[in-house]
Structure 1
């Protein structure tokens, strides 16, 4: 383990319900301080006070503020990745229109369940350890999207890695534009519907014709002709 990674590593993992509850309280407190006072004022002292415990108790689990915030960010990103994983697994073999709808719904719900938290964590993502976490989770989500698209009942993707990365970029970029205030009034109300239309149209450019669907079968697997 590198020295940089060691600085961001928790001192210990929760093995009992009480420890898990303490860590959950610290994560909640960190988010509350972060959203109300900003990254520069999000200190271990303020977080511990918000959580109703001593700084010493915080240090039993995290060696510093950055390690705590990295854990909070990782938890946030993991919840989003799990939502994408689930949606992608549930919609393998479906038409691309259904895939697009499910993917948009899962991503938007995960990111906008707590908009202030999502927005505040963008600042954390730029700190030590943040870029590495972001890259790892994005890779995981793009891989899940690729696996789903590869099974599409009505489309074939020649450049699957590129297509999957484009889909994710459209989702992440659009939601971030809204969260950071770079979108016009009324953007949120139409966000999900517009994303579904956008991704559906994009994915349908790769649709198979009727003859190709008959040959490939419902999940893009070659089937034998009865005359062979």
Structure 2
């Protein structure tokens, strides 16, 4: 994991509602600017203009556009959710439906503008808060997947911990790539293929 760049830390987190609204307006504007103009042309001046704030106000919250993009990615990760394992059906024969629940949530979590997703994937710099966010969510999701692996009677894998890592990486990386790329197939087709692949792996099919 790369080391964090301290220059990406936001200047301050607002303590009042008005300040928080301004900060969120800057982040929303930046997401639109990055999607429309790309990262190189997505300048802080353009972001401030889109947010209808002065450039001085923008710099009160963020030192540069790198820190803005890092915060957008943090929010993107924090918005993501996976199914509550306790709500899933672990009866024999339900494995494909369980896998589909996880994959469908992953697709929904990456339903942002594909142009913005590409910017986040290709350009997002590494802040300490981003590293902490990735680590926190990764541990949570691996624990959820491992719980499914040890509880579902249709799953046959050698090592639950390694299998959970493989599943998380496979689902997240493939979903990122598919949802950010120009579409050559529908999201429904992608879902079906990924569900089939993961289900076969967990069943131990040859």
TM-score band, normalised by shorter chain = 0.7 to 0.9
Name the counterpart of 1:119: 118
What is the CA-CA distance between 1:205 and the residue it aligns to? 1.8
Which blocks of at least 5 consecutive residues in structure 1 are unaligned? 207-228
Equivalent residues in 2 for 1:170-209 (5 A)? 170-181=170-181, 185-205=184-204
Count of paired positions? 199
Quickly say closer, same or farther: Cα 1:115–1:196, change in 2 above 3 A: same
Name the counterpart of 1:169: 169
Name the counterpart of 1:91: 88
Q: Deviations over 1:58-98 (max 9, x none)?
A: 12212222222111111111112xx12x4445337564323
Quickly say closer, same or farther: Cα 1:58–1:20, change in 2 above 3 A: same
What is the CA-CA distance between 1:119 and the residue it aligns to? 2.3
Structure showing greater radius of gyration is 1
RMSD over equivalenced CA pairs, Å: 2.8
TM-score (norm 1): 0.74
TM-score (norm 2): 0.81
Of 106-115 and 155-164, deviating more is 155-164
Of 188-197 and 51-60, deviating more is 188-197
Rounded to whole Å, the distance in 2 between the matches of 1:92 and 1:8 is 43
| Residue 131 of structure 2 is aligned to residue 129 of structure 1 | no
Name the counterpart of 1:220: none
Which ranges of 4 or more aligned residues in structure 1 deviate by more than 4 Å?
Answer: 92-95
Partners of 1:31 and 1:117 within 8 A in 2: yes
Q: Deviations over 1:167-217 (max 9, x none)?
A: 12222232233245377x3253401122222212221228xxxxxxxxxxx
SS at structure 2 position matched to 1:40: coil
| Residue 114 of structure 2 is aligned to residue 109 of structure 1 | no
Rounded to whole Å, the distance in 2 between the matches of 1:97 and 1:53 is 49
Q: Deviations over 1:123-165 (max 9, x none)?
A: 233x243983685244443333223323324435431122112
Equivalent residues in 2 for 1:42-121 (5 A)? 42-80=42-80, 83-84=81-82, 86-91=83-88, 93=90, 95-121=94-120
Rounded to whole Å, the distance in 2 between the matches of 1:177 and 1:69 is 19
